[in-house]
Structure 1
Amino acid sequence: MTLAEQFNIQDYPIVIGIDFGTTYSGCAYSLANSEEVIDIQKWPKQNNNVYPKTPTLNFYQNNTSVMTQWGNAARIIMQRPASRSSVLLKQYKLYLDENIAKDLPPLPNGLSIVDAISDYLRAFHEHAMSELKKAIATSDKSQCRYCLTVPAMWSDKAKGTMREAAIQAGLIQPSDHRDRLMLISEPEAAALYCEKKCEQFNLKHKDRFMICDAGGGTVDLIVFEIDERGGRRLRECIKGHGQSCGSVFLDRRMRKLLKKKFKENLATIPTSAFDTMMDSFVDLIKPQFDGIEEQFLSLPASINIGSINNSSIGLEEGMLCISAAELKQEVFNPVIDEILSLVENQLQKAGSLKAIFLVGGFGSSNYLFKRMQDEFGHAVPLIAVPPRCELAVVRGAVYFGMNPTVVASRVSRCWYGIDTTTLFEDSIDPPEYKLIRSDGSVRCDNRFSVYVNRGQSLDTDYHVSKDYYAYYPHHTICTLYATAAEEAPRYTTSPGVFKVANFDIPMPALTGVVEGEQVGLSIKMYFGEVELRVEAVIRGKTYGTTCTFDPEY
């Protein structure tokens, strides 16, 4: 058990932001004595396309669990005939959304999600450090601290998995102070970027604005209020919301549409031909589609169909024409309608907004902007896409790393509490929960003792302290429960309540204390940060704890 030491940011003059995305990942950095944020623009095998992100792809040869290529190189090697039995792992970030993961097949080659993410982050980080060395003549990791972005809709367990993968990838050591690696929600990071870049929009004290962070996998919404008391800070003012309805779901619908059009030839068309057409959709059609103009796809030579003309599906001389109406109906509208519904829901709760900012790769979609403007332009004075909106999250992560106190408060998305016993009420509590103690008192077991209310505004240093005792030298385990239900649950066994984690609090070596002696301790749970943090205070000293997330959660 280690003492919880103070973290000194001066020990780490380089701040590195990492946006690990479903489809693309990005990195930016800054020196602590500078306001300038620098994007890493050069990535392996990107050819002449200098895009400041690289694909989130892992390549595993045949059935091995050793990643041999990543990013653009993984995509290139997978196109070789010899790679047909190999694995190109993509969109695996979706495995950290429990709502989707339960319907996904197991990862191939015996890989765990921690393995897949850490394999990628290890190679990604090594490249970032090599680019850093070119720019500022140092690649000394000991000078770096990190800010990693995560979807706001992720569970505490998913965030914990991300931290575990980053440590396994070697970004920091297990023994390092936890604040050397900070997590920030993606829409929060984007809000910091927009707040910096959008001074021309004249947002003032008490003005509210919404971030719609539309990425590859998730769409996260967050509403902030500007607080200019004692410096300009941001306060989350309503419970954020998110859903897995990012641009990869456009891709899935587009692939389905292509298969429907070529249903007569599915037996002979190789998968690689569909992959080539999908690459054209992702690179050319998806970003610039405006809902008005028809779009064209050139058939690859490998498509292996009898005729390059078929008027019934819009095929002429090997060029597939898809009307704007069909693309809207079959591909874009079902996904964008989900986003608009999320925004409408948040808008009703937030009341008056001064602005909505669209960020993320999908956030730059012309058609999404048009639909947002049509739907909400009458109610919100400004709907905007900030410059380089695809970099808003990673740049905002660096801003947060340089000034973690800029986000002043957050809103809890769940009820949090522990299991306790209370006075038994015959008219309410089930008889099987009745406990009769030696002193004759009748108690109810499995009661949910609320620590934090769902929708409660929490300052970032908000914590709950509870006093306990343990018998020396035995350790203590504290179990935390949560639920996203509308009403506070009565029992830890109520529908929708889940065990979040066990916090293991080992007993330190204490002088002058004999075995079996009672030792008082206080457990402090911090709920206002992006991650849960639990500390134990024993005999006036503060200790960190070990968190074990429930495997079923």
Structure 2
Amino acid sequence: MSLLVASIDFGTTFSGWAYSFKHEYHNNKDNIHTKNWPASSHISQKAPTVVLIKPDGKTLQSFGYEAESKYAELAETGDHKDWYYFRRFKMLLFDEKGVQRNVTIEEVGGKKLNAIDVFYHAIKYIKDDLVQTIKQQLTGEEFQETDIAWVITVPAIWNDAAKQFMRTAAEKAGIGKGKLTLALEPEAASLYCRHLPVNKNVGHSDASLYSFPEGTKYMVLDAGGGTVDITVHEIVSENTVRELHKASGGAWGGIKVDEEFEKLIDELIGPGSVDDLKRESMEEYLDLTQEFEIKKREIDPTSEKQVSIRMPSLFRHFAMIKKRKTLAELVTESKYSGKVGVTRDKFRLDKDISLSLFGSTTESIIDHIQNLLEIPIISDCSAILMVGGFSESRVLQHRIKNAFSQLHIIIPQDAGLAVMKGAVSFGFNPLFIGERIAKYTYGKQDTHLQTEKCSHAPTDLRTHSDGIMCRKLFEVLVEEGSSLKIDTVVETKPSAPIKRGQTSISKKIYASTNPNAKLVTDQGCRKIGKMSFPVDPHLFDRGHIYTTCYKFGGTEIEVRVRNDVTGELYTSTVDFLG
């Protein structure tokens, strides 16, 4: 048993770590330690997910606030162009088609590096920082990194390839395979908030998950910087819930508001103005993004107060170059006249304009929730639990409360830390989610002897000594939407080597969104991974003796192969990265 559990909450915009010693946690589940990251003007319990790599493309210079400051310093003198500055790169993994092991990622200046290395640098920095902190706390006591059980958070809407990518980067950063668990972000937050009393909530909600009885259904809205993850849970007991509907959501996080702000600038000054700023003065671009990040959190839908944002000096120059007019003239002649003003070195946005920046993303979130609530099993949902950094936005809170006034809206005081702290709790209580819902119909490729009863379409046929074989058939392992207990194991019919001297057997795993798929080549069915396991060439004449056991219901798919002659079990790693 590990001495402590440590979590790494790897976010699109902000990341951090938390931990708790086993004896501390069991005495008080709120006893979870986090780091205070020093910024230039404040202290934060998370740091920007920013990685600065030296010009050699291999050496990490800094992470977080330190990376922001160093890069701004380099940009001020024009010495930044050979450096690699990565921000908001986690969204690379939000790809329904999957991600490749050797995929590259582009930094703000346009240069590329292997994505796995960028993720590795970030995770290693956070891991080493946490380990160093613990060692300082335990001065004089024996402590090894192997005493730590690690939990890294991932979005519930990520596919299997993205999860493996994160695990691969973590293992490269020195976290042992057997010491690492992946926790789904909304589940971790749900676990953390399950023990929070009413007085730990924001606003005037008189409800908490702590007081809900068994059978209560609630929705977890995990709104982060990049994605919004939505799951629906039903309380089974004090320490267990079950998932009622597969995780869903989209790229509707807080950075969408940033994108709308940049679109506004381009509409006012001219297309490409933000890109021009980035190219000509990276220092001013960084200042602008940091300024808006702060202002974005302050926008209050109940206030008529204007939002003032410091304006890069180059914008006045761009106005003259692009439109041959002053910036004030452009604003006055635009459709935003009277709603956007220019005063000295600031843009001033009135209430309607500042709130409009949230329009697209909040509408997407609300529409999605409304659609979910029309599903019969979810229609009697009692509450929405809002967690994640974007859930701290007053605008999002206000719009969710207005749209779903019939439900309890629960917002913990530290909504942005709920995932990070909950991941520690998940490390101590991995069985909190008793059942999960299959996101896809998973299956494998099958072959059988052609008969008159074959109901599938014509497929790849091969002549065999026993007759004509139908190939490329889709054998279903679990169906999309089915409820899977944590230890759900599906055994397939035994397989055997096809030739003497064969030392391994390979299998492919498929996922389908088409409930009627019969063949692996049918629309909606695609290969997502492959696996192999060793076989004993001396047992070739014993026939079909290798039974494959697929374990579903966890945060990752596990596979074991059993030799039915010797009883030997072999754990096979599924490669989802290709």
Q: TM-score, normalised by structure 2?
A: 0.84
Match for 2:122 among 110, 117, 120?
A: 120
Match for 1:238 among 240, 245, 265?
A: 245
Cα distance 1:308–1:136, how it changes in 2: closer, same or farther (>3 A)? Answer: farther
For 1:469 and 1:428, the matched residues in 2 are separated by: 23
Matched, 1:285 2:296: yes
Q: How does 1:406-425 map to 2 (within 5 A)?
A: 406-422=432-448, 423=450
Cα distance 1:490–1:467, how it changes in 2: closer, same or farther (>3 A)? Answer: closer
Match for 2:420 among 365, 380, 394?
A: 394
The AA in structure 2 aligned to 1:97 is: F
Matched, 1:77 2:73: no
Aligned residues: 524
Could you tell me how far 1:303 is from its partner in structure 2? Answer: 5.1
Helix, strand or coil at the partner of 2:8:
strand
Could you tell me how far 1:435 is from its partner in structure 2? Answer: 4.5
Aligned to 1:376: 404
For 1:519 and 1:437, the matched residues in 2 are separated by: 17
Helix, strand or coil at the partner of 1:83:
coil
Match for 1:170 among 168, 174, 183?
A: 174
Aligned to 2:284: 273
For 1:338 and 1:105, the matched residues in 2 are separated by: 30
Aligned to 2:35: 41
Cα distance 1:296–1:170, how it changes in 2: closer, same or farther (>3 A)? Answer: same
Aligned to 2:373: 347
Query: Which stretch shifts more, 215-224 or 193-202?
Result: 193-202
Helix, strand or coil at the partner of 2:431:
helix
Aligned to 2:503: 474
The question of whether the paired residues in 1 share the 8 Å contact of 2:459 and 2:472 is answered with no
For 1:279 and 1:514, the matched residues in 2 are separated by: 65
For 1:431 and 1:346, the matched residues in 2 are separated by: 38
Could you tell me how far 1:515 is from its partner in structure 2? Answer: 6.5
Could you tell me how far 1:504 is from its partner in structure 2? Answer: 1.4
The AA in structure 1 aligned to 2:240 is: R
Per-residue deviation, residues 438-478 of structure 1 (Å, max 9, x unmatched): 344x5532221111010001000001012424346621112
The question of whether the paired residues in 2 share the 8 Å contact of 1:20 and 1:26 is answered with yes
Cα distance 1:346–1:135, how it changes in 2: closer, same or farther (>3 A)? Answer: farther
Aligned to 2:204: none
Could you tell me how far 1:145 is from its partner in structure 2? Answer: 0.6
Could you tell me how far 1:246 is from its partner in structure 2? Answer: 0.6
The question of whether the paired residues in 2 share the 8 Å contact of 1:22 and 1:217 is answered with yes
Aligned to 2:152: 148
Structure 2: runs of 5+ lacking an equivalent:
199-206, 321-325, 333-339
Matched, 1:28 2:22: no
Match for 2:258 among 246, 251, 257?
A: 251
The AA in structure 2 aligned to 1:168 is: K
Aligned to 1:135: 137
Cα distance 1:507–1:198, how it changes in 2: closer, same or farther (>3 A)? Answer: farther
The question of whether the paired residues in 2 share the 8 Å contact of 1:41 and 1:50 is answered with no
Cα distance 1:420–1:264, how it changes in 2: closer, same or farther (>3 A)? Answer: closer
Amino-acid identity (%): 25
Structure 1: runs of 5+ lacking an equivalent:
1-9
Match for 1:209 among 206, 218, 222?
A: 218
Per-residue deviation, residues 315-339 of structure 1 (Å, max 9, x unmatched): 022221112212333x210111111
The question of whether the paired residues in 2 share the 8 Å contact of 1:255 and 1:278 is answered with no
Aligned to 1:483: 512
Helix, strand or coil at the partner of 1:261:
helix
For 2:388 and 2:166, the matched residues in 1 are separated by: 20
Match for 1:529 among 554, 559, 568?
A: 554
Q: How does 1:291-330 map to 2 (within 5 A)?
A: 292-293=303-304, 294-300=306-312, 305=317, 309-310=328-329, 312=332, 313-329=340-356
For 2:256 and 2:104, the matched residues in 1 are separated by: 17
Could you tell me how far 1:535 is from its partner in structure 2? Answer: 0.8
Helix, strand or coil at the partner of 2:484:
strand
Could you tell me how far 1:48 is from its partner in structure 2? Answer: 4.9
Q: TM-score, normalised by structure 1?
A: 0.88
Aligned to 2:7: 17
Query: Which stretch shifts more, 424-433 or 48-57?
Result: 424-433
Cα distance 1:363–1:322, how it changes in 2: closer, same or farther (>3 A)? Answer: same
Aligned to 1:548: 575
Cα distance 1:134–1:284, how it changes in 2: closer, same or farther (>3 A)? Answer: farther
